[in-house]
Amino acid sequence: MPRAALPSSARTTDVAGPRELGRASSALGRAGQCRACVIVPAYDAEQSLAAVIEELRAALPELEEDAILVVDDGSRDATAEVARKGRARVVSHVANRGKGAALETGLTLAHALGYDVALTVDADGQHPGASARAVLEASSDPRALVLGVRNLARDGAPRKNQLSNGISNFFLSRFTARPLQDTQCGLRRYPVKETLALGLRARGYALEAEVILRALAKGIPLVQTEIAVRYPPEKERVTHFHAAKDPARIIVTVLRTLWELRAERP
């Protein structure tokens, strides 16, 4: 597949071209030799990002170096420099715009580069390489939206995270009439073209709930697969998720999205 032109606003490193992911070991590859990349939204992640990139390369050796796309979301530290040292392709926001905006930038770049699916991995080291591979290979359908499903209690997530995720799972399951087991996990596999066509509006963490609602409304297949995650001791934990503001934004986004989807029905 020939490369599309890069967006004029994207500032990226100059590295070699992508190749097809899969071959014998990947169910997705066997299905259609799809091009796959990894998107890592990163904000002030200089302490953890190098290890994340290294682990991804070890777990996904089929990926060429430039198939790891790091979106530096206005970091105030050396996040972009660390990513470049890891031989990742880097695109930077001048100012912090939120995780949803970073994901949209990554997906837009992935589409311009001719990728079919994009695995999203958090920059804080929470997602082991084996879990990333499990999500990538969870479905042979390149159109599927694949959600990683965590066992938060088993893996030591803070109680407030368990409560927030449980509430989100309950209401989105009711709204979609589908049992959703983890609506907030950042380890996912997106069908690039189909996701960009959804018309997503959220710019923060709420995008991860919005995309589920819009994808199901459009008939995009949804696959859920169990994964393991890491949670460091509380004193070492770094998170940009605001315990009060972000859940409220998610609720507003879900209600707005449901209203818009209802209005779109014939």
Assigned domain for 17 exists: no
- The total domain count for the chain is 1
What is the spatial distance between Cα 120 and Cα 131, in angstroms, rounded to a whole number? 11
Q: Which amino acid is at 80?
A: A
User: What pairing do the DSSP bridges indicate for beta strands 36-42 and 117-120?
Assistant: parallel
Coil, helix or strand at residue 93: strand
Which residues form the domain of 142? 23-264
Most confident of 13-22, 44-53, 251-260: 44-53
User: Which range, of 106-115, 148-157, 217-226, averages the lowest pLDDT?
Assistant: 148-157
pLDDT in tens, 212-251: 999 999 999 999 999 999 987 655 555 655 555 656 677 7
Q: Find how far residue 186's CA is from the centre of its chain.
A: 5
Assigned domain for 194 exists: yes
* pTM summary value: 0.83
Assigned domain for 13 exists: no
13, pLDDT greater than 70: no
What is the spatial distance between Cα 262 and Cα 163, in angstroms, rounded to a whole number? 28
What is the spatial distance between Cα 78 and Cα 142, in angstroms, rounded to a whole number? 34
Assigned domain for 139 exists: yes
pLDDT in tens, 22-56: 433 344 544 347 899 999 999 999 999 999 999 99
pLDDT in tens, 177-195: 999 999 999 999 999 999 9
What lies within 8 Å, CB to CB, of 110 at 6+ separation is 37, 39, 69, 118, 192
Q: According to the model, what pLDDT value does residue 231 have?
A: 85
Which tokens sit at 105?
């930038």
Beta-sheet strands, E only, within 62-139: 68-73, 89-93, 117-120
75, pLDDT greater than 90: yes
Residue written as token pair 């972009």: 80
Assigned domain for 9 exists: no
CATH number of the CATH domain containing 200: 3.90.550.10
Q: According to the model, what pLDDT value does residue 256 have?
A: 86
Assigned domain for 8 exists: no
**CA distances for 124 relative to 22, 24, 135, 226, angstroms:** 26, 30, 18, 20
Phi and psi for 251 in degrees, rounded to 5? -60, -45
Assigned domain for 167 exists: yes
Assigned domain for 6 exists: no
What is the spatial distance between Cα 152 and Cα 82, in angstroms, rounded to a whole number? 29
